[in-house]
Amino acid sequence: MWQYHKRLQYPIDIKKKDLKMAKYLVTQYGGSNSELAAALRYLNQRYTMPDDRGKALLTDIGTEELAHIEMISTMIYQLTKDATLEELEQAGLGSHYAEHNKSLYPTDANGVPFTVAYFASTGDAIADLYEDMAAEQKARAVYENLIDLATDPDVIKPLLWLRQREIVHFNRFKDLCEYYKSKNLK
């Protein structure tokens, strides 16, 4: 089904600890506009696409979103590596530590846990594709906000790459939506 290559889609090599940035980045791990929400949205919606073209596209993009989760996880790990308990508390991560130690847990930057209420699947291809396009635009906006908050080029470069993938995904969903509308498929 999948071919897994033990490498990230974009190389990540963050050398400086930055716990505040890690706290911000967690929103793309488990927030409402996160890579996790996107992956689950697309991998669920693929089953009700009216043809193999739509099923394939949602499978491809959903799978890529899983790879983006891996990238975000790597970034968070590298930004928090060797952090002391005192540093975690100073960065506002004390409550996270109390619940999860240093492990990742899908939340937004405020610690609100991930919920499947973040996405929908209507069974109407056009409606779902419009939701998917909106999701990609919201994720792009979040990446732009994260880029604004970042100061380290080792953090900014992968964020720019991830932002660009949101634009690519939006355009692929838009093309599929236009195709379905032209064929009167839903």
CB 156 within 8 A of CB 150: yes
Q: How confident is the model at residue 1 (pLDDT cuts 50, 70, 90)?
A: low
Query: Per-residue pLDDT tens for 88-106?
Result: 999 999 999 999 999 999 9
pLDDT at residue number 4? 78
What is the SS3 string spanning the chain?
Answer: CCCCCCCCCCCCCCCCCCHHHHHHHCHHHHCCCCHHHHHHHHHHHHHHCCCHHHHHHHHHHHHHHHHHHHHHHHHHHHHHCCCCHHHHHHCCCHHHHHHHCCCCCCECCCCCECCHHHCCCCCCHHHHHHHHHHHHHHHHHHHHHHHHHCCCHHHHHHHHHHHHHHHHHHHHHHHHHHHHHHHCCC
- In the block, tokens 């790990």 appear at 77
What predicted TM-score, i.e. pTM, was given to this entire model?
0.96
The answer to whether the beta carbons of residues 38 and 118 sit under 8 Å apart is no
Q: Which amino acid is at 149?
A: L
61-94: pLDDT as tens digits: 999 999 999 999 999 999 999 999 999 999 999 9
Residue 51 confidence (pLDDT) above 80: yes
Q: Which pLDDT does position 3 carry in this prediction?
A: 78
| pLDDT value of residue 175 | 98
Q: Is the pLDDT of residue 2 over 70?
A: no
What is the band of 136 on the pLDDT scale with cuts at 50, 70, 90?
Answer: very high
Tell me what pLDDT residue 85 has.
Answer: 97
Q: What pLDDT does residue 186 have?
A: 83
Residue 5 pLDDT greater than 90, yes or no? no
* 29-183: CATH architecture: Up-down Bundle (1.20)
Evaluate whether 52 touches 154 at the Cβ level (below 8 Å).
Answer: no
Kindly list the domain boundaries of the chain, sorted by start residue: 29-183
Q: What is the mean pLDDT of residues 37-60?
A: 98
pLDDT of residue 49 exceeding 80, the answer is yes
